[in-house]
Amino acid sequence: MNKTDTLVAQKLRAEGLLDQFQHKSVLDYLAENGGRLHMAVLALGFVPEEKLVQVVSQACGFPVASLSKMRIDVEARPRLSASFCEKHCVFPCSIRDQGSTLWLAMADPTDIGVINSARKQSRLKIRPLLARPSEIRDHIRTAYRNEVEPESPYLAGAIDLSLEPGEDEGEFKITDLAGKTMVRHTGEVTSGAPPARQTAGDPPGGEQALRARLHKLLVNQRKTDRLIAGLARLLADKGMINLEALPPGPPEKR
């Protein structure tokens, strides 16, 4: 990893936004797909984009530019091709300094290779700006609408994570290291619900420890859901899976 990636990883870990298992998943993703650490974190859905961009800004020293509040010059668009902008997640915002400098919104303004390539293609000096990847992609689709593929209709929330019919969505069965099995409900984590039902043959005790383990289990489950959703969105965007073809989930309860 380069210096910026290392700083971003350190800040995410220090702020509790990325645990050691997620960090390992990010490194595995980078080993297979390449790219930059914060883009891998975003693709895997571990950290919200707004918070992630703030961390990148602190790590690399670039303020976050809001493209929606910036004057976009139509003369800047032809300077870079749609394929280049899509590949590197960049967008030409405007031409300044009497036509000598291209202001370039980038998901990673520290990527010298992309900056040099943009300089060669545009034949202008490049002033890199840090912007949110989603905002960059929105502007690419608008400015190059006849030259880019339409946005994938699949959303992370399209994955059906519902339980099988007849299952209690709030109930969990937990077996601890001592082999004791307890049936718990998610409501017990945040409210003073009745104690867990103890299964036949299990010794009593360990209520507080089980409550703590249940809470950790639920937190990890939410992280797993985000990971699965992020991976599915990535695969759908690459055309490797079709979420629309998956069997529909059970009908909503009224």
**Are the beta carbons of 221 and 169 closer than 8 angstroms?**
no
Gap between the Cα atoms of 80 and 68, Å rounded: 20
Model pLDDT for residues 165-198, shown as the tens digit of each residue: 555 555 555 555 555 666 655 555 444 445 445 4
Q: Are residues 167 and 214 in the same domain?
A: yes
Gap between the Cα atoms of 149 and 167, Å rounded: 41
Q: Are residues 162 and 232 in the same domain?
A: yes
Q: Are residues 17 and 74 in the same domain?
A: no
Provide the token pair at 160: 């059906």
Q: pTM of the predicted model, to two decimals?
A: 0.57
- What integer pLDDT is reported at residue 157 of this predicted model? 37
Q: What residues have CB less than 8 Å from 251, skipping those under 6 apart?
A: none
Question: Residue 29: left if φ>0, alpha if ψ -120 to 50, beta else—which one?
Answer: alpha
Size of the chain in residues: 254
Task: Count the domains in the chain.
Answer: 3
Residue 39: give the domain boundaries: 3-60
- Kindly state whether residue 149 falls inside one of the protein's structural domains: no
Residue 2 has pLDDT above 90, yes or no: no
The mean pLDDT of 28-46, rounded to a whole number, is 90
Q: Which helix (H) or strand (E) holds 61?
A: none
Gap between the Cα atoms of 48 and 56, Å rounded: 12
- Kindly state whether residue 253 falls inside one of the protein's structural domains: no
How many other β-carbons are positioned within 10 Å of the β-carbon of residue 226? Answer: 17
